[in-house]
Structure 1
């Protein structure tokens, strides 16, 4: 099968990740040729990508770290679009060096990706952010629904040592500022808690949360409300904003809230064989 022409060639950073894996699967199913960056193409945890339908002719894995501009440039060369999904997720234990472990890979990594986009004449870049970059704003009017104009307070996130929230807020802000100053079309998408089937062999952070809830978790979690979106819907949203010429700026990907109790009831109906 011949590869698609250049306009259908795109790059996905962090290609072996949870959201990125589903995005790669979707892109291949739509006839795109995909350059996926991973830290180690020979790592078994990335083998699932090579088993996807269409991968044999239209998927290339590139060894690239977001802090390595040359490796990124090689992966992005020849692509008309880029989906930046690579992002550090801090461990549950205390982060020893937030700057090098979380903030620099998120912020400098995003900047490196966008600079590589500019150098390679990429037409549009889609950056995967998070509602963590939206929610934490104490100055937002009480009772007013948060929308794309709401930003988390980056200084408060840093003060509270909420490194993931700080990293997402800083990285997304950096992306949109770069777009405005350099004439690159950049769209950011902010998903809420992402759940759904796994393609990769490693359990990701949001799925660990679901396992924690299923196993009991603290009683207080029974009364919490969550914005939850299916990982396949996130992949659809990312491709939608890429393909729509009129898309620009920032988009939230967060449906109505669901309680922990209702979530468990749904799981009991759809997966009755588990002990909840």
Structure 2
């Protein structure tokens, strides 16, 4: 019997990792974080501080494992969306919520990589099980500007109230490329963003976090 520890197990990504591990026959020992960690609501621009905390934490982890001859693999997903197992809306799912049913009159002028939470969870387990896995794995099924995400949502749900105007009149923030080769070496077959967005919306609806 293999015992695996999953930290932050009640979170959006980790809850799927736990589910997939149990399906594979592992015994899971779970830990959960303090509700005030890693970002306090009083912090100005909490997303910036969250990103910084993740960067510093990974840097410290790599330093520690090098000094102590420990094997480590890092999974670095882009914006993670998809069906929820936890009862509340997480930060990345909120990006989708804010685009539907008149929650916002505009969409952000920003380009992000997007990835399904199930692909992220699977990548964690594959990185654990595949002995040759090493280094960092960046995950993104696609990189799109919010205007393109809005178009997909409108095509999927033409009756929803979805913003048609950008939040500013500046040129759209450019997109960028994220290589899929490393992720494919883990056996990850990315779920298309169209499927991921539909799963996200349907999950939010089932959990009564949105209505339409």
Q: TM-score, normalised by structure 2?
A: 0.66
The alpha-carbon deviation at position 38 of structure 1 amounts to: 2.6
* Alignment partner, residue 90 of structure 1: 39
Aligned: 1:236 with 2:185: no
One of 12, 17, 28 as aligned partner of 1:23: 17
The answer to whether the 8 A contact 1:19-1:231 is kept is yes
The answer to whether the 8 A contact 1:176-1:249 is kept is no
* Alignment partner, residue 177 of structure 1: 63
In structure 1, C-alpha distance between the alignment counterparts of 2:15 and 2:78, rounded to whole Å: 18
The alpha-carbon deviation at position 267 of structure 1 amounts to: 2.3
When the two chains are superposed, the root-mean-square deviation of aligned CA atoms in Å is 2.6
Deviations 1:246-272 (A, max 9, x none): 112211112331122221232234345
Deviations 1:87-127 (A, max 9, x none): 934255426xxxxxx9xxxxxxxxxxxxxxxxxxxxxxxxx
Bigger relative contact order, structure 1 or 2 (CA pairs below 8 A, ≥6 apart)? 2
* Alignment partner, residue 6 of structure 2: 12
Structure 2: state its 5+ residue gaps: 163-212
The answer to whether the 8 A contact 1:14-1:87 is kept is no
* Alignment partner, residue 38 of structure 1: 32
The alpha-carbon deviation at position 202 of structure 1 amounts to: 1.1
- How many aligned positions are there? 160
In structure 2, C-alpha distance between the alignment counterparts of 1:224 and 1:22, rounded to whole Å: 27
* Alignment partner, residue 119 of structure 1: none
One of 138, 142, 147 as aligned partner of 1:261: 147
After TM superposition, list the pairs within 5 Å mapping 1:95-174 onto structure 2: 162-174=48-60
Q: TM-score, normalised by structure 1?
A: 0.52
Structure 1: state its 5+ residue gaps: 40-64, 66-85, 96-101, 103-131, 133-161
The answer to whether the 8 A contact 2:9-2:32 is kept is yes
SS where residue 170 of structure 1 aligns? helix
Deviations 1:50-77 (A, max 9, x none): xxxxxxxxxxxxxxx6xxxxxxxxxxxx
The alpha-carbon deviation at position 9 of structure 1 amounts to: 1.5
Larger helix percent: 1
In structure 2, C-alpha distance between the alignment counterparts of 1:245 and 1:238, rounded to whole Å: 13
The answer to whether the 8 A contact 2:107-2:147 is kept is no
Distance 1:36 1:271, change over 3 A: farther
Aligned: 1:203 with 2:152: no
In structure 2, C-alpha distance between the alignment counterparts of 1:179 and 1:18, rounded to whole Å: 26
